[in-house]
Amino acid sequence: MARPLRIQIPGAFYPIKSRGIDRKDIFLSRLCKRREHASLAEPEFYL
């Protein structure tokens, strides 16, 4: 059975967590991780 849809509220913050296979890191370096986090902070990603 599929998970129910998330209620989306404009301007709300939602937790985002990603893991690789076997819970391994998904970023190759700290720089890659910082760039990804910076891109998520951009207003265009907010609902």
Please give the single-letter amino acid code of residue 34: R
pTM (predicted TM-score): 0.44
The 10s digit of each residue's pLDDT in 5-44 is 878 888 777 776 677 788 888 888 889 888 887 877 666 5
Break the chain into its structural domains and give their ranges.
18-47
Tell me the one-letter amino acid at 12.
Answer: A
User: Which one, of 21, 23, 9, 15, lies nearest residue 40 by Cα?
Assistant: 15
What pLDDT score does 42 carry?
66
Instruction: Return the closest-CA partner of residue 27 out of 39, 13, 43.
Output: 39
| Residue 43: per-residue pLDDT | 62
pLDDT for 44: 59
Using the 8-state DSSP alphabet, how is residue 13 labeled?
A: -
Residue 5's pLDDT is 83
Nearest-CA neighbor of 16 among 47, 43, 37? 37
